Every structure is written in C-alpha cells, then in structure tokens.
Structure 1
Amino acid sequence: METSRAARQPRLPFFGAALIGVVALAAALAAGHLVAGFISANASPYLAVGNGAIDLTPVGLKDFAVRTFGVYDKLVLLGGMAVVMVLAAAVAGIASRRSPVPGIVLIAAFGLLGGLAVALRPDLSAVALLAPLASLIAGVGVFFWLHRLASAGPRDEVAGATPSRRSVLLAGAGAVVAAGAAGAGGQLLAGTRDAESSRTAVGRLVPAEPAPPIPADADFAKLGTPTFLTSNRDFYRVDTALSVPQVRAEDWSLRLHGMVREEKRFSYDDIRDRPLIERTITMTCVSNEVGGTYVSTANFIGVDLGDLLREAGILPGAEQIFSTSVDGWTAGSPVVAALDPERGAMLAIGMNGEPLPVEHGFPARMVIPGLYGYVSATKWVKDLEITTWKARRAYWLDRGWGEQAPIKTQSRIDSPKGFETVPAGKVRVSGVAWAQHTGIERVEVRLGANGSWLPATLSREVGLNTWRMWWTELDVPAGSHQVTVRAVDKSGYTQTDARAGTVPDGATGWHVISFTAR
C-alpha cells in the first residue's frame, strides 16, 4: 500500500527541484542579511560562518591563502562558500523530488550552523540570533511553499508545461526578486551606520608635533624602489575581518583597565583634543614572505600610547597589553615596548594627513614600531587590558604564532623583477631593507651564487623605525643570472641566509631573483 502511494506521488523535475533548493537558499541568506542590517553586519549568518571558518582555518592554510590571494583571500573564501552552499542547496532540492522533508532538514541544519556561528561571535549580543532565525524561517518557508506548488495538480507529460509549473516559475521569480530586495535592504541599513561619513566629518588632523619632512633622497623611486611614504590606497592590508567594521567616531571609546591604578575611558574627542603627534613608521606583517610586499611606511598621527598608560598607572608585574578590536579580534603587546619613549608607540587616529581610512582602523588603532602587526597594530581598537602573558592569550597565540614577534632584519630586490629580460652591460639593481627600531647599517648585493658581496648605495636615513632604500649597478654579461641581497643592521647583525617560513614569528632568508641579460 505505502509503495503504491509513493509511486503515485509525482516526482518533481530534476532541474526544477534543484532550482527550488537554490531559490530557498537565496531567500534564507537575504532574510538573514536584512535583519543583520538592523543589528550588525557580522550577524548575517553568511558572514558569521565565514568568520568562523577564518578562525578555524589551520595556520598553514591561512598563510597559503594570504601568500596566494593577498588582499583577495576573503573574497576567495566567500566565493568558495557561495559555491558550496549553492551546490548543497541544489542537492537538497534534488533529494526532495518526492517529499520536502530531506530539503527542509538540510536547510534547517544550515540555519542551525548559522545560529551557532553567530552565537560564538565575541562581538555580538544575543539579539543577533534574530538574523539566523530569520534565515531559518525564510529558507524553510520558501522551500516548503515552492515544493508544494510544484507538487500540486496534474501534469501534461507530453506538453510539459502545466499550470502548476508556470505557477512555480512565477513564484520562484517572485521569491528571487524579494530576496534581492531584502539583501539590498540589509546592505542599505548597514550603510546607515557607515563610518565613512563620520570619518569625513572629522576633517583635517593637524599635529602639534609634526614629523620631520621626508628628505628628497629618502628613496630611489626613479631607480626602481617604492616611494618612501606609501599612499593610504597602496598601504598593505592583512586582517581577519570579512566585513570592515563600521564604527563612527561619535560612538567610539577606548577602555584602559586591568593592572592599573586607575581605570581610564577615552572618547574620540578626548584623543583628538590632545596635542597630536606625527611619527613616520614602517609597518610589516608577519605573513610577509622573503621578498614580499607586506611592508609599508606612513606618517601616523595620534597620541603617545605610553602617555596613556602612564596616566592610568601601570602596576608592578604587568607584562602585556591585551588589546581587543570591535570585531572581537585580540592581540598581546609587550608593555615594555609600549612604554619605551625611544620606540614611540602610538594610539593613531590619522594616517598621511587624513583620519585613518576605515579599512585601516578608523576611528583608532595601535601602532608599536619594531613589532610585527599581529602583536602591535590592533585596528578598530576598543579595549586595552593591562595583564600578564599567562593570564590572557591573544588570537594568534592559540594558532601557533610567537608571543613577542620583533621584526627581523630583511631586504628585498624590487628592480629588476624576477625573470625579467634586461640589456646586457650595466644593470641597475635596487630595492628596500628594513630592521625597525634597530636600523639598517648597510646593504650588500652579489651577482651569481659565488660572487663577491658588493656594497649598495643607501638612501638618507629617516629614522630607526623606517625602511631604507638602496641601489647599485652591476656589470652583467649576456645570459641567465641571479642576484642576491642581504642587509646588515646597526647592531652588527647580518641578515641570515637560513630559509624559514612566516610561522611562528616571521620569515628569514636572502631574497634571490633570476633574470636574463641580452
């Protein structure tokens, strides 16, 4: 009896069933994004799952993604997630050709996963669970509705077009349009909390203590090096944020607490109204491979971080500044580095004469020269807890990275490019070297694996916390060649040739490029 009833139950067309699953997925994601627009962008289940994936990604895979895709690594992640979800939704629809139960179960599982991802976000409150709940209701509801429409009424197997199928097409098209409108609505709502308008309203930042002018011979840009100062547009960006946090200056505050005599809280106006300082600082990402581009220099504007700490009164035994971003990301910085007046750690609110770009941490970020960014450069910072290394463990420490992370002495060849063909004879070789808070003493270059090391001409030194450009000219006969560079810092240390990856505390090795002379 049951078998005959199942046999009489109409089976949905293969592609039609798959399409029902995909449309239901679109409705679920759009509904979640719409509700998240009222709460927080990170409440969107799609972004919450993506953020969870980033947090759970093994260090090696994360490093590979940064190396391979650079600033597009998160777009690749979101795109990959979209492909997987569409395929899963299509499979859910196909598995439900006779009954909606398999599809509803799979959609409900997706909804629960989104809810779990939202619940685990450290920057979201319980109200954010409304977004995945909306996704769950919309996804299940649209799937069941379209499935019932598609299953109703007799079918003309010869003609193929039936009132039921036309109804499903119209209903599906309507659901897609509604999903698009909901998604756009969520994006529009998120835009009402846009930080860019707040940043524009800040206006020009004028430091009471400007940085010394950059000398004309601080770079050899005409000879192939980067310009000494990196534009805000070109400044490297590596972080875990899938969606750039949108924090208005008028809503921002910084809490300074923990092992201090007096807890402090600063508003944006509290910081801006202080006498601002400007410092020229080169920053480097720990994910920078040998010869990599994740190193940039800017004039940062803000206040001395050490001054804020001294006002709060650091208690004996304090070891780290445990900083937290508005999106829940954390970093641990050595207290001793932040208090060192020669190092010049900052709470920065400006960059190259402008308020911080939103993607670089507006309204405020930390900048501690001489340390890799993952322990020194928290963007969108909202909380500084003075504590010990044992008491609190920051985001990357639990993922295999080092605790203190001083920047290593490194150098890079920028010209000629790897595998470039150049005229034989006099070949100009140029590049950049850095050893923040130690300083570069000299740079040496050699042609071939066994050639003699030759000194390069260095640019004017701007400071111990900035990079230096270099260039030299080599006599190169026709043929294939290799050029190697190494730097010697002001402590007398010669950059090691021992190759090491970025984990746990920065890459080492000499940069070598191959080129052809003709």
Structure 2
Amino acid sequence: MDHANNEAVSTSVDEAPAATPSRLPAGPAALIGVLALAAALTVGHLAAAFLGFGASPYLAVGNAAVDLAPSWLKDFAISAFGTMDKPVLLAGMAVVMVLLAAVAGLISRRRPLPGQWFIAVFGVLGIVAVYTRPNLGQLSVIAPVLSLLTGVIVFRVLHNAALNALLDAPFEEGPRSVGRRRILFTGVAVGAFLTGGLGQWLGSRRDAEGSRAAVGPLVPAEPAPPSPADADFAKLGTPTFLTANADFYRIDTALVVPQVRAEDWSLRIHGMVEKEITYTYADIRNRPLVERVVTLCCVSNPVGGPYISTAKFLGVDLAGLLDEAGVRPGAQQLYSTSVDGFTAGTPISTVLDPGRGAMLAIGMNGEPLPVEHGFPARLVVPGLYGYVSATKWVTDLEVTTWDARQAYWIQRGWAQQAPIKTESRIDAPQGAVPAGKVRLAGIAWAQHTGIAKVEVQLDNGPWQQAMLSADVTEDAWRMWWAEFDAAPGGHKASVRATDRSGYTQTDQVADVVPDGATGWHTITFTAR
C-alpha cells in the first residue's frame, strides 16, 4: 500500500507542469513601449495631414512647450542655439519621449496595464495641447485621439504577443520565441515609418513653395533707390548692406514653418473699424506695390548679437488698408495674428503715421517672400522690434485697445511699447591681426531715427570718430570703420553710436527683457 502511494506521488511530481516565466525580459519590454510610441505619433501625424499639421500631437506638445516655457528659458535657448533652437527642442522632446516610453515598457513586464495607463496619460496631454491651440478647429482633436488609441492598442498587442512567444520557450530565449518577436517588432517599426512618411508627404502636398514659384515677378510701382557702392564696407569685415534672403535671421515661435498657398490666403481686417474687409492675395498683388529698404532687429538680440538683417521689402502701405476699413476713434493697437496662432500688438498710431512706412509685405529682395519669412504675407513696421511689428504668415488684423487684447509676448512679461534702441556692433577684426595699423569695422542702427555718429575706443583711450558708410535711409543700418595703431599684444575695443536725435547709446548693461538689450559692444583681439 505504501509502495503504491509512493509510486503515485512520484508520478505526480514527474508530470507537474514546468514553471512559466512571470515577466518579460527588460530589453523587449522597453522596446514595446518605444514601438507603441512610434506607432501613436505616426498615426497622429498622418491624421494631421488632413486636419492641419499643427494637430500632430508631437508638434502640438512642442508648441505648448514653447508657449509655456518661461521667458528666461526661451532667451537661453536663443542665445545658446540661435536659429537651431527649434530643432534642438524637437530633438530633446524625442529623446525624453523615447525614455518615457521605455519606462512605460519596463513597468509593464508582468502585465500591460501599467504601461497602457502611462501612455494614456501622455495621450491626454496631446489632446489638451491640440484642443487649446488657437489656430486649430475642434475637429483637430481627432488626430491626438487616434494617436492615444493607437498607442494603447499597439502596446497591448505587442505585450501579449511577446509574452505568448516567450511562453513557447519558458526557460530560455529560444530561437522560435526570438524569431516571432523580431518579426512582429520589425513589422510595427516599418509600419510606423511608412505611416509617418505618408503623413509628411500628404502634408507637404499643400506645396507653398510651388505656390510661391507660381506668383511670378513682383514689380514695384515705387522701387527703392539703388544702394550706392559705399553703402557697406564688406571688404573690411562688415556685412553687405542688403542681406541675402538665405542669410536673413529668423526668430519666431513656429516649430514647423507654416505652409500657406497664395491662393488659399486671405487677410481679414475687423474690430474697431467702420466696415470689415477681407483681402485675397490677388487683391494685394494687383495694387501698386512700393519697395522700401528696412533693417529688422529681434528684441532677443544681445549686445553685439547676430539677429539683425536688412532687405528690400515689397508690398502695400498698411495705413492705406486700414483707411479703407475706417479706424474708429479710441483704437489703440493693431492686433495681428499669424496662421500658426502667434499674435502681436502694434501701436495703431505708429501704423497710421504716414511717415513711418508700415507695410503689408509680399516680397523680399526682388522676389516673393520666402516661405520661412512669411509667405504669402507679413507685417513690416520700421523702427519697432519684431515681436510687436513683424508678424509672419499674417492672416488677421484686429483694430482694438490694449486692455481688450494682450499679444503673445506681452502676456509673457515683455514691454508693450518696443522702439528699437540705438546700438552698434564690432564685426572686425576677429582673432589675431598683424601689429601696426589695424582697422576696426562694424554696424550701427537706430531705425526710423538714423545714425549720426559712431565712435570707437581702443584700450580705454580717447574715443575716435569712425568713418560712416553712405546714408541710404533712416530705417536701415549704417556701416563704419576706424583705424588705430596697435602694438603687439592683446587689445580691447569698444564702440558706441549717436543717433540723429542726439542720443548716445548708454554703457549701462541691460538684458534683452523686457524691451531690448543695452550696453557698449566690446571685443578683444591680439596684434602680432
């Protein structure tokens, strides 16, 4: 009897099922999270191709990050990365999202639910980011909703498939388990790549560049005077008087350059006006066009910084368009809105000043506006920093009061009034130069006031007046150069400008916030 029982126990032990693994390996688990993220974002990107690219969850979250970032962080990004600040932001977002997706996978090695909740939370953030964008309609939330559902579903499918494949080889990563998982993971990765590529292709079919090319030549009825030969001292190290379109600085809040075709564009003027008017691109182009040389400067430009350029802008007088609408008494600002939702507030008195030359520009340096500089149309108001005057891809102008509307940067602590400050910069020399006669050269600007004098100081010596370039217009920069005897060794040079009002730029150093940097630009160089 005892013998029989022992045999039964032995048989039971021998036939007990083998223990099965209780969780996925770390590597495949993390990869599941990353692949679910890729699938979610690319599906959202594809949906945004039909709803507006701004509805892409990835871009919407990026735009929200730009909007919510404190001013000091934006200033740091511009100073540290320049015009690469947006690619750096998008790349940084990608790295963070991949890491978080991997975490979602790692916390779900036993079951998929924790990772699904993790993904769902970020999906909701995408929905909120899209829903709160001022330039997107309510249907745009379809893109992040599809993105959320895709992420949750793909995560669960991959998790279950990987776990089932592992159960087929419970004690080791057998070739069958690894093979099945590899095929599935590769399929999802390829599918995500193709989906994202299709979304990008469909979105780019709006073809703003093709529309720009079809505009043809823009001929001004009032061309700007030709620039004289001595308008710059480029041979001595200054910039050329006119900045090539490809070299013109670009600072804006758009993560992706808006793609607007001329045939789809319109400009609405409304608010405190006698009658609301909407203009098409053809309406503007068929008017007599005026061409003006204007230097634009970004308020984020530090002392001696690069964010200043000059071009011939072509368009129509902004005051003329507002006169047709009939500005009502009590109006204080022209509240402009870009197609991407950016807003700026310009003093209405400045815009209506007949001597100011405020423009709705459609051309730049003899050709239609480049897409990255505002095609089909942008504002150009000489003498004001761009954040209150130079709205690109402009599509709406509301005549209103300061209390009724607060523009994008005003909400973030920047000044309401933003006249460009009288400043100057040293461009040459850079690094080491031969000892003896040394020429310093650079630029000075005081838009809509004009530069009267530039002085240069070497090694705390007496100020020496520099030679100025030809005065083309008070709305453009002027070049300068000065010559000094420089003994071998290190030297320090400073520059200051005086405008036609008699004001000499201050040596008091001020940050760019809230209304532009001040101080003398100082460089060091070595004479050998």
TM-score bracket, shorter-length normalisation: over 0.9
Q: Of the candidates 486, 492, 495, which is equivalent to residue 485 of structure 1?
A: 495
Deviation at 1:262, TM superposition (A): 1.6
Partner residue of 1:456?
A: 466
Does 2:428 align with 1:415? Answer: yes
Q: Write out per-residue CA displacement over residues 201-224 of structure 1, whole angstroms, 9 at most, x where no aligned residue.
A: 001100011000000100001111
Once the two structures are TM-superposed, the CA of residue 164 in structure 1 deviates from its matched residue by 3.4
Where 1:152 maps in the other structure, the secondary structure is: helix
1:438 aligned onto 2:456: no
Matched with 1:98 is: 110
CA deviation string 1:220-245 (max 9, x = no partner): 01111000000000000000000111
Q: Distance in 1 between matches of 2:174 and 2:351?
A: 73
1:296 is matched with which residue? 309
Letter in 2 for 1:303: V
Aligned with residue 84 of structure 1, among 67, 75, 96: 96
- Report if aligned partners of 1:32, 1:134 keep a CA contact under 8 Å in 2: yes
Query: Contact conserved, 2:332 with 2:399, CA < 8 A, in 1?
Result: yes
What is the Cα deviation at residue 9 of structure 1? 5.6
Aligned partner letter, 1:437? H
2:14 corresponds to which residue? none
Name the counterpart of 2:479. 469
Partner residue of 2:437? 426
Report the equivalent of 1:241.
254
Corresponding residue of 2:4: none
- Tell me the secondary structure at the aligned position of residue 497 of structure 2: strand
Counterpart of 1:467, as a letter, is W
Query: Residues 29-428 of structure 1: matches in 2 within 5 Å?
Result: 29-152=41-164, 154-156=167-169, 160-417=173-430, 420-428=431-439
Instruction: Report the CA distance between 1:166 and its aligned residue.
Output: 1.9
Distance between the aligned counterparts of 1:370 and 1:57, measured in 2?
28
Shift of 1:151: 1.0
Indicate conservation of the 8 Å contact 2:437/2:483, yes or no.
Answer: yes
The corresponding residue for 2:510 is: 500
Whether the 8 Å CA contact 2:490–2:525 is kept in 1: the answer is yes
* Runs (5+) with no aligned partner, structure 1: 1-6
Deviant stretches of 4+, over 6 Å: none
CA RMSD of aligned residues (A): 1.2
Structure 1 residue 159, shift from structure 2 partner: 5.1
Paired residue type of 2:182: L
Deviations 1:377-396 (A, max 9, x none): 00000111111111110000
Alpha-carbon distance in 1 for matches of 2:230, 2:441: 14
Q: Give the Å deviation of 1:39.
A: 1.3
Q: What SS does the aligned partner of 2:122 have?
A: helix
Q: Deviations for 1:255-288, whole angstroms, at most 9, x for unmatched residues? A: 1111111211110000000000000000000000
Query: For residues 276 and 358 of structure 1, what CA distance do their matches in structure 2 show?
Result: 20
Q: CA deviation at 1:290?
A: 0.1
How many angstroms does 1:404 deviate by? 1.1
TM (norm. structure 2) is 0.95
SS at match of 1:178: helix
Paired residues of 2:21 and 2:170 also in contact (CA < 8 A): no
Q: How many Å separate the matches in 2 of 1:229 and 1:258?
A: 37
The answer for the alignment partner of 2:11 in structure 1 is: none
Q: Paired residue for 1:512? A: 522
TM-score by length of 1: 0.97
Name the counterpart of 1:3.
none
Point out where structure 2 has 5 or more consecutive residues left out of the alignment: 1-18
- How many equivalent pairs are there? 510
Deviation at residue 155 of structure 1 after TM alignment: 4.8
